[in-house]
Amino acid sequence: MTKMAEDAIERVRELSEAQQDKAAEMLLLVASRSASLVRLDDQTRAAILEGRAQARRRDFVSDDDMAAFFIRHGVKHRSA
């Protein structure tokens, strides 16, 4: 890791958790852009297309269903 990157990480450690998460999101976005493309199988591509169609129809699960999902899978829910 470069000195500049190490310095940036040290400064991010001093931020609040919310600000650290924002910084991490930006870093992951930059890192993902340099990753190679992933080839999707037909089933995954169909699932993505169906999800996009549901979003266009505004066909979303309820907040209660999402809360139950987070609990069931041990995911720490983060407010937007």
- For the segment 55-68, what is each residue's pLDDT rounded down to a tens digit? 999 999 999 999 89
Report if residue 51 sits inside a domain: yes
* pTM score, whole prediction: 0.42
Report if residue 20 sits inside a domain: yes
pLDDT category at 79 given cuts 50, 70, 90 is: low
Report if residue 10 sits inside a domain: yes
Report if residue 79 sits inside a domain: no
The whole domain housing 25 covers: 1-74
**pLDDT for position 42:** 95
For 58-77, give one letter per residue: b (16+ CB within 10 A) or e. Answer: eeeeeeeeeeeeeeeeeeee
Cβ of 28: how many Cβ atoms within 10 Å? 10
Report if residue 35 sits inside a domain: yes
Whether the predicted pLDDT of 78 surpasses 90: no
Cβ of 30: how many Cβ atoms within 10 Å? 9
Please compute Rg for the chain using Cα positions.
Answer: 18
Report if residue 80 sits inside a domain: no
What is the arithmetic mean of pLDDT over 42-52? 96
